[in-house]
Structure 1
Amino acid sequence: MPETKLFSAAGRINRSFFIVQYALTLLAYGITRALIDFSASLAVSIPLLLIFVAVGFSMVCTSIKRLHDLNHSGFLYLLMFIPIVNLLLLIYLAAKPSNNWKNEYGLNPLLPPANCPTCGRQAFQPPGRYTCSDCGQRFELDSNFTATAYQS
């Protein structure tokens, strides 16, 4: 599974990670909601309410990262506030495969990134010819994600 930050909307996550993270977040959301409903004390309700908000924010961030994986803006998440459309968007996020290669939101989480053979910078997908922006080294990336320096 890719490494991801729970409270950040930056980056991408694949659909299997989205489904697992969304399900766990939904479970935590439901448990917290039930505890809030059954708590009689304000001293118990306030911390639970903070947890409830944090879990909800995590759910939003997870959905935005999945939208990024499909090369969509996070603003598309606003459709989640429209009944029926929210269910269709959730199905879309859970069913659509990741976009291949790198997009404007980062590298494909299912594919290994390639390293520059000189400086080790990690950020190159798909196979092809690149010039490293850190060291200027020119190299070719094959379909096995092996980088080989070349001269033109």
Structure 2
Amino acid sequence: MNLLKRFFILAFFALSTSFYAQTTYPKITGYFGIMHPIVTISNEQTTLNFRDYYAVGFPTGINIWKSSKIGFSFEIVPNIKAEDGHDKVTNILFHPGVLVALGNGYTFAGRAAFESSGRYGFTPVLNKTVIKSDNCSYFVAVPLPVRFGNDHPATFTVGFQFGIAF
């Protein structure tokens, strides 16, 4: 084989493998996390997690990125509450939303919220990837749930979430 033929074969191979290494869209990722509500505020009371009870949620979802900037997320969150020596699943949250990449590892998620307890609302979430590897990434997030309905006053919660995406 002459030198020119070898060059073109190597160039084609190098270019074709670099195309496979690029991210193609839509891109699908999954994740699992642990969410701790820290404080919940309503016009009737302010409640603190870890004081009289312990509540925790386990957000599990799939993100479908349309491009490097925008995507859709489908999340389900079972919530557990432990109080007075008893624990139970108190709620299942259906949490679809839009994802907006903000750069430098930050993502904004604007989510609609539909709870099995009969409450509904929305949840803005600010997410930061803190460790990224070839196989997965670790993230922290601050969800800010706002809920209405089911004969309860409107509430605003500040939470802390951490998890793994793959």
Larger strand proportion, structure 1 or 2? 2
TM-score, normalization: structure 2? 0.21
Larger relative helix fraction: 1
